[in-house]
């Protein structure tokens, strides 16, 4: 399958600081990427859909000013958690779709964020 690389795999930051997570499609161009959040023993919670060259579409209840998403190229999307707080600690995962709406999406390795 297609390869999606997510970096970093884990990060610890102080409360009030910002953290940037990168999601790269290594062997394909991804017009659409998705950002998810996952709590322990829970399913994936979609945060936003990111389309290259346009503003991300956020799900209801997700603060767009807190979770900044940039999809400036066909191989890179970034999620920045601004002014992080302990309640933002979670597992964040991106996925990238290989083509149009009918195609499959592949996931990155995930990033475990701990805010202290």
Which residues are at the interface with another protein (CB under 8 A)?
1, 4, 6, 34, 41-44, 46, 49, 91, 93, 95, 101-102, 104-110, 112
For another protein, the closer CB: 43 or 54: 43
Residue 114: HSE in the Cβ half-sphere, 13 Å Cα cutoff: 5
Distance set, CA 96 to CA 30, 35, 116 (Å): 6, 9, 30
Give the nearest distance from C-beta 96 to another protein in angstroms. 11
Give the nearest distance from C-beta 74 to another protein in angstroms. 18
Give the nearest distance from C-beta 48 to another protein in angstroms. 10
Fill in the DSSP letter of residue 60.
T
**Are 90 and 107 a contacting pair, CB within 8 Å?**
no
């Amino acid at each position: 399958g297609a390869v999606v690389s997510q970096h970093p795999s884990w990060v610890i930051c102080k409360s009030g600081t910002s953290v940037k997570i990168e999601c790269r499609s290594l062997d394909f161009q991804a017009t659409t990427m998705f950002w998810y959040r996952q709590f322990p023993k829970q399913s994936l919670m979609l945060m936003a859909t990111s389309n290259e060259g346009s503003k991300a579409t956020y799900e209801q209840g997700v603060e767009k000013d807190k979770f900044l998403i940039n999809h400036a190229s066909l191989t890179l999307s970034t999620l920045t958690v601004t002014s992080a707080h302990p309640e933002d600690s979670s597992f964040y995962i991106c996925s990238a779709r290989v083509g149009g709406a009918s195609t499959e999406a592949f996931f990155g390795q995930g990033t475990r964020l701990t805010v202290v």
